[in-house]
Amino acid sequence: MGLNSNDKVKVGIIGVGKMGTYHANVLSALNKDVEFVGVYDINRKRSEIIARRYNIKYFETMDDILENVDAVCIAVPTKYHFEVAKKTLEEDKHTLLEKPIARTVEEARELVKIAEERGLIFQVGHVERFKGAVTELRKIVNDPYLIEARRLSPWINKDWDTGVVLDLMIHDIDIVLSLIKSNVVHIDAVGKRVKSLYEDVASALLQFENGAIASITSSRLSETRIRAMAISQDKAFIYLNFETQDINIYRGASASFFVSKKEITYKHETIVERVLVQKENALKEELVHFIECIKGETKPIITGEDDVKTLSVTIDIIKSINKKMAKERVW
Ligand SMILES: NC(=O)c1ccc[n+]([C@@H]2O[C@H](COP(=O)([O-])OP(=O)(O)OC[C@H]3O[C@@H](n4cnc5c(N)ncnc54)[C@H](O)[C@@H]3O)[C@@H](O)[C@H]2O)c1
């Protein structure tokens, strides 16, 4: 708050586990408009390791770090998102909170309201939105009638505090809701617990008021990593591979049959366009956007209302899964 355009934004990180360390890595390289002040983690050892690695301070308490910064990145486990973000916003700090925004829609709304009332930038870490390919996708996609998304990851051994829907599927839900400009009118979803206390695989079917359909599948138990989205719209089938950031657009499909004396041959032709994508580091783009918003140089591309809507659909998917899973034996 109260920053001049030439001032560097003093930023700290709260929670420096896996994701917080990625934030530290990027922040330490953003010299121009940012002063990476320090970190705070309830695990003092983690704070010390990261502080030493990036030659910054570590703070003993949350109050200490908040006294020394204009803005924070929060990367604590999801179950603490609400309490930590509420505190940082109430201390008038611009806040970039890792996804998901919170565990309930009421909590999400409260955070958005506090930020609005205090004129703070409050951004949720929907990092996929900052991939060059997703930015391009938003220029190409126009009134889709079907979106199919797959996000499969290998298992990571950790004490999960959420299922795969809040962990992975939320990225695709956010993107789908940004591409289909209509309200969700029907949700059906199924899931299965396999290794954690929550659903580890899930599949959701969404129907929108304008008739569009989205089918989203996520897994954190896959033997390979796949992140892909296929979009069908009038006269185009668009295929995005998030891993390589390649976009192919298929158009003008035609099928023909050739009948000879011996056999019938089927021929299918399509024109394929390959879109040139600027491949930047998405987390860097996300953090630069956060800083530019704080400095008043641009407006947030994802609004608080978007974040609440994404969480609300995500929670409805989880409810749909849980209703069916209650009848299933956990193994
Ligand atoms: N945007 C993405 O693609 C993406 C990817 C992975 C994780 N995440 C999100 O990032 C968050 C963190 O995930 P992670 O994998 O880094 O977890 P992690 O367990 O590796 O790290 C969490 C860190 O927070 C610390 N911590 C816990 N409670 C704290 C508190 N109250 N105050 C300060 N520090 C605290 C822990 O000691 C730990 O070091 C999760 O909400 C997750 O959903 C986002």
Distance 32 CA to ligand 1 centre (A): 27
Distance 300 CA to ligand 1 centre (A): 23
Which residue is closest in CA terms to ligand 1's atom 5?
19
Which atom of ligand 1 lies closest to the CA of 43? 37
Query: What pLDDT is stored for residue 124 in this prediction?
Result: 97
What is the per-residue pLDDT across 291-300, written as a single tens digit (0 to 9) for each?
999 999 999 9
Residue 82, SS3 per DSSP: helix
Whether the pLDDT of residue 47 is over 80: the answer is yes
Domain residues of the chain, as ranges? 9-125, 129-280+312-325
Distances in whole angstroms, Cα of residue 257 to Cα of each of 21, 56, 261, 271: 57, 68, 13, 18
Best substitution site from 41, 84, 95, 171 to test ligand 1's pocket, by max atoms within 8 Å of Cβ? 41
Burial code of 233-265, b = ≥16 C-beta within 10 A, e = fewer?
beebbbebebeebbbebbeeeeeeeeeeeeeee
Distance 44 CA to ligand 1 centre (A): 14
The model carries a pTM of 0.92
Q: Where are the alpha helices (DSSP H) in 42-80?
A: 44-54, 62-67
Query: What pLDDT is stored for residue 327 in this prediction?
Result: 66
What is the percent of the chain where pLDDT is above 90?
87
Whether the pLDDT of residue 89 is over 60: the answer is yes
Rounded to the nearest integer, the mean pLDDT of the chain is: 94
Query: What pLDDT is stored for residue 99 in this prediction?
Result: 95
Instruction: Assign domain 129-280+312-325 to its CATH architecture.
Output: 2-Layer Sandwich (3.30)
Query: What pLDDT is stored for residue 31 in this prediction?
Result: 77
Residue labelled with tokens 């204009």: 70
Q: How many CB atoms lie within 10 A of CB 273?
A: 12
Instruction: Assign domain 9-125 to its CATH architecture.
Output: 3-Layer(aba) Sandwich (3.40)
Tell me, using a 6 A CB cutoff, whether residue 20 lines ligand 1.
yes
Whether the pLDDT of residue 237 is over 70: the answer is yes
What is the per-residue pLDDT across 242-295, written as a single tens digit (0 to 9) for each?
999 999 999 988 888 777 777 888 888 889 999 988 888 999 999 999 999 999
Tell me, using a 6 A CB cutoff, whether residue 101 lines ligand 1.
no
Query: What pLDDT is stored for residue 254 in this prediction?
Result: 84
Which atom of ligand 1 lies closest to the CA of 40? 33
Which residue is closest in CA terms to ligand 1's atom 25?
15
- Residue (of 2, 16, 19) closest to 71 by Cα position: 2
Tell me, using a 6 A CB cutoff, whether residue 168 lines ligand 1.
no
Tell me, using a 6 A CB cutoff, whether residue 322 lines ligand 1.
no
Which atom of ligand 1 lies closest to the CA of 80? 31
Query: What's the angle, vertex CA 172, arms to CA 171 and CA 177, rounded to 5?
Result: 105
Backbone angles phi, psi at 68, to 5 degrees: -110, 5
Residues 6+ apart with CB under 8 A from 218: 150, 151, 152, 164, 165, 168, 169, 172, 201, 202, 203
CA 179, 183, 185, 188 torsion-angle sign: positive
Tell me, using a 6 A CB cutoff, whether residue 84 lines ligand 1.
yes
303: confidence class by pLDDT, cuts 50, 70, 90: very high
What is the per-residue pLDDT across 185-195, written as a single tens digit (0 to 9) for each?
999 999 999 99
State mean pLDDT over 228-247. Answer: 96
Whether the pLDDT of residue 6 is over 90: the answer is no
142: confidence class by pLDDT, cuts 50, 70, 90: very high
Question: Hey, which residues does 150 pair with through a beta bridge?
Answer: 217, 228
